[in-house]
């Protein structure tokens, strides 16, 4: 009898020992501050957006969100750092159309695979570009621009911020779909001032950087490349409205965690971030910037990234765009 009781005690202790590690591993998330890698300099659009979302997210999660700015290499440096972080939910990275889409599609030297090295959490927003013209070009809408470009092939110049920006890709896609040809003029600086100074008559840029100049009459807005009209530019039609739906293209941003992160942690982050995006004060920020709130599921964001890579690769190949040498 004593031997049987001793054996039962040993079995009970073994059961407790087996259960204890699982209980420890299942501790509530998060229990310490979360690092948010922003792969751009402080004060830029992506940084400001991340911080605006970070404050209410920290409140929802009950832990501080510590923004870690890691600019460099068109945003790919910080993303590479995020890819190598521990998959424990305490490092979240902001990915964008530039560092997850354009750079890989161009064959840039990056230290990560945008599909294999990350588990997406959610796409938080996207923004169509707006085609803006100097008033002296004499066109009031996209159809007039297309007619003029067909009459003067390769003569009308447009500016973009470099030869590998989303503005450059948007312009090339529009030309491919509309059957026109512009003259590309790359700039190292913002392009709206160049159009306002009439150095070049045309640009593909974001509503955030052109909206005030459109409303003042210094720039003429011809078209937006998104599916929906921009809240801050309600009178400007979309590519779908002029029957060029395949010219739809966006700049976008989303949150990622290193591959291998627990699905429960990803689900918690997705749930809280999507809730933050639904807040009226947060939505107002993006509306004022000309952006559209998304709040996708992890699977939807993964499929979107893959589709964008294919789209950007196709545009680059057809246009013969080459990676800029630094």
82 and 151 assigned to the same domain: no
256 and 242 assigned to the same domain: no
166 and 226 assigned to the same domain: yes
243 and 254 assigned to the same domain: no
263 and 115 assigned to the same domain: yes
- Look at residue 140 and tell me whether its pLDDT is greater than 80: yes
Residue 294 within any structural domain of the chain:
yes
Which of 211, 231, 247 is the last residue in one of the domains?
Answer: 247
What total of structural domains would you count in the chain?
Answer: 2
Residue 40 within any structural domain of the chain:
yes
- Look at residue 31 and tell me whether its pLDDT is greater than 90: yes
Average pLDDT over residues 294-321: 97
The residue behind tokens 């997850």 is 100
- Look at residue 285 and tell me whether its pLDDT is greater than 60: yes
Residue 150 within any structural domain of the chain:
yes
- Look at residue 18 and tell me whether its pLDDT is greater than 60: no
166 and 310 assigned to the same domain: no
233 and 257 assigned to the same domain: no
pLDDT for the residue numbered 6: 47
CATH label of the domain that carries residue 197 = 3.40.190.10
pTM over 0.75: yes
Q: Tell me which of 5-14, 29-38, 113-122, 194-203 is least confident.
A: 5-14
Residue 121's domain spans which residues? 34-126+250-319
* pLDDT tier for residue 323 given thresholds of 50, 70 and 90: confident
Residue 25 within any structural domain of the chain:
no
Residue 21 within any structural domain of the chain:
no
274 and 224 assigned to the same domain: no
Residue 56 within any structural domain of the chain:
yes
109 and 256 assigned to the same domain: yes
CATH label of the domain that carries residue 73 = 3.40.190.150
111 and 149 assigned to the same domain: no
* pLDDT tier for residue 234 given thresholds of 50, 70 and 90: very high
């Amino acid at each position: 009898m004593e031997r049987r009781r001793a054996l039962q005690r040993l079995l009970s202790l073994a059961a407790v020992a087996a259960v204890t590690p699982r209980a420890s591993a299942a501790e509530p998330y998060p229990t310490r501050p979360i690092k948010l890698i922003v792969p751009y300099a402080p004060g830029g659009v992506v940084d400001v957006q991340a911080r605006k979302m970070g404050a209410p997210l920290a409140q929802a999660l009950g832990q501080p969100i510590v923004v870690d700015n890691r600019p460099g290499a068109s945003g790919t440096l910080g993303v590479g750092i995020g890819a190598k972080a521990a998959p424990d939910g305490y490092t979240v990275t902001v990915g964008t159309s530039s560092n997850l889409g354009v750079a890989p599609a161009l064959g840039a030297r990056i230290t990560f695979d945008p599909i294999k090295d990350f588990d997406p959490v959610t796409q938080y927003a996207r923004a169509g570009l707006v085609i803006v013209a100097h008033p002296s070009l004499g066109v009031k809408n996209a159809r007039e621009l297309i007619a003029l470009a067909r009459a003067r092939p390769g003569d009308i110049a447009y500016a973009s911020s470099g030869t590998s920006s989303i503005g450059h890709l948007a312009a090339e896609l529009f030309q491919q779909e509309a059957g026109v040809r512009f003259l590309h003029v790359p700039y190292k600086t913002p392009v709206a001032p160049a159009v306002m100074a009439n150095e070049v008559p045309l640009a593909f840029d974001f509503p955030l950087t052109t909206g005030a100049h459109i409303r003042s009459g210094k720039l003429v807005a011809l078209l937006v490349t998104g599916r929906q009209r921009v809240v801050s530019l309600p009178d400007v039609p979309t590519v779908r409205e002029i029957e060029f739906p395949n010219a739809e293209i966006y700049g976008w941003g989303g949150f990622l965690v290193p591959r291998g992160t627990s699905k429960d942690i990803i689900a918690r982050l997705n749930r809280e971030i999507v809730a933050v995006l639904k807040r009226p004060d947060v939505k107002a920020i993006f509306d004022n910037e000309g952006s559209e709130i998304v709040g996708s599921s992890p699977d939807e964001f993964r499929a979107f990234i893959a589709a964008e890579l294919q789209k950007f690769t196709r545009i680059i190949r057809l246009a013969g765009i080459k990676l800029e040498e630094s």
